[in-house]
Each structure stands twice: as structure tokens, then as C-alpha cells.
Structure 1
Amino acid sequence: MTLDPQPDNFIVPEKDPDSIAFIDFGRSRFFRPGSLLMLVHIGKEFHRLRIEAGLDQTLFDRFLTAYFSAAQLSPWQERLVRASYRFWRKRHGRKYGGQ
């Protein structure tokens, strides 16, 4: 997990223009796939990504649909990621009054 979703850290590879790649792993963390900690951090990263990328709700919802389709998480894993995202969004709103 990157832990640094700044727009400058993403590139579009020449050989695969339909994808994106991440180039800065200085703050990244490793998690056991499917672990509770990993799923909670995915929700947190989604919140950070939405803020850093400046995505409106419509575009962010499209991103989530594509992500969950590709990730093939179980229903409980998806609910946990969504709950984590909501938690971090509410926490940010209380702390900073927005987003």
C-alpha cells in the first residue's frame, strides 16, 4: 500500500495506456492479503485518494465500482473497506470541516 496518493506519484505506462502505475514507494507498507488491517487501510487510502485527486462524488463512485469489480473482494471485505472509508471521511470532516 502506497500511503502517499499524490497525483505526481502516478504515471501512465507507454506500453499499457489503459492503466496507471505508482512510482514512489517511500512511505509504503506491506500487509498480508485480505487481512483486516489491509482492508481498513484500503478505506483510509480511498479517502486520501479522493482528497488528493480532487474527485467529485460521481467520479469517485465510478472509481469504487471499477476497483471492487477488479479486486473481487468478498461481500464482507467490501463492506469493511466501505465502512473504513466512511469512518475516515467523517473523521476528516470533524477535524477539518470538509470533504
Structure 2
Amino acid sequence: MEWLVIDVLYLRTTGNYALTLQASILKMMAEVTSESPILPGDSLYPVIDAKYLINKNETRHLKVISATVFSEKQWRFLKRLSRCQTTTTAQTVLNG
């Protein structure tokens, strides 16, 4: 399934990203690893085993570490944490 990146948080302590993703009526939050920057508006195309191409560019890819159903309350909390604290707590929220 192709996903549209709606919002992005960079998790400084791990170098991972927290993403808000949407595909049709589905909306998710995911923690991913990527050596390429990820921006709102990017499209993610599935390849294999939780790996995705960013904008169908084979040199830009990411791997999903964890995903959960989108929660506005949790996302706002993650955004606040990413601005004012370490991201260890933010990762705990994403990973359950």
C-alpha cells in the first residue's frame, strides 16, 4: 500500500523518524529508519519486508520499525516532547 507522509518528527537520540502517514481513509503513526531525509508530502512505496522507497527513488528508502493507529492526542504529545525533551519518552509512546 502506498502511503503519503503527512507530518515528520526527527528523533535526535536514535536518528530515526516518527511519521504520520495516510493511505485513503487509513491514518497511521510509524517509527522508521532512513539515511535519506523524509519530508511531509513524500510518498512511500512498498518494496519488501517493511521496506519502502521514498518517492519511487531507489536511492532513497526506509524501513518501518513500528506502526500504530494514528492518535491526535499521542501525536501532539510526541511533537511537544520532540521540542523540549529527549526523544526516549517519545519512542516509548510510539512503541507502546
- Please, what TM-score do these two structures have when normalized by structure 2? 0.27
Larger radius of gyration: 1
| Structure number having the greater helix percentage | 1
In the superposition, the TM-score normalised over structure 1's length comes to 0.27
